């Protein structure tokens, strides 16, 4: 059976990829549109990320924090 990638992992990967393209921020709606998800679901995931300090959410714009991009295991 095939396993669908969980939404939170998809969002994390998309955010990490965008950073490599040197885009500093993305709006929540654009991200939801990109992933074909509802913005409510995306918001829930982003809020849990921001509680851990991995992203910053300012006026619906998502910024990746230094901690979120660090590559130390």
Partner 1 sequence: MIFENPYLPYLFTFIAAYPISMLEYGHRKFRKNYLLLFKISFPFHLYGIAHGLLATFIYWVLFKKNLLPGGEVAAILNPLTIGLGIKGITNLNFYNIVSSKGKEPSDDKVQIIPVGPKLVMDSIEKYCETLIEDNHDHYLDAYIHKSIEALRQIPPATISQEIQKYLPHSLPKIVRETFMEEVKQNIGDNNGDLYFAMRLFANQYGLNRYKKFVTHITRKRQ
Residue 42 near residue 12, CB atoms below 8 Å: no
Q: Which of 2, 22, 51, 58 binds partner 1 (CB under 8 A)?
A: 2
CB 32 within 8 Å of CB 42? yes
Per CB under 8 A, 49 contacts partner 1? yes
CB 2 to partner 1: min, Å: 6
The DSSP bridge pattern shows strands 61-64 and 55-58 to be antiparallel
As measured in angstroms, the least distance from the Cβ of 22 to partner 1 is 14
Nearer to partner 1, 19 or 28 (CB): 19
- Give the angle 43-4-71 at the CA atoms, nearest 5°: 65
> CB of 26 within 8 A of CB of 62?
yes
Binding site for partner 1 (CB under 8 A): 1-3, 5-6, 8-9, 11-13, 15-16, 19, 49, 52, 54-55, 64, 67-73
């Amino acid at each position: 059976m095939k396993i669908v990638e969980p939404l939170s992992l998809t969002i994390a990967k998309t955010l990490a990829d965008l950073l490599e393209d040197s885009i500093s921020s993305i709006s929540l709606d654009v991200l939801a549109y990109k992933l074909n998800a509802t913005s409510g679901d995306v918001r829930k995931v982003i809020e849990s990320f921001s509680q851990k300090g991995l992203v910053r959410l300012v006026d619906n714009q998502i910024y990746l924090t230094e901690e979120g991009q660090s590559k130390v295991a």
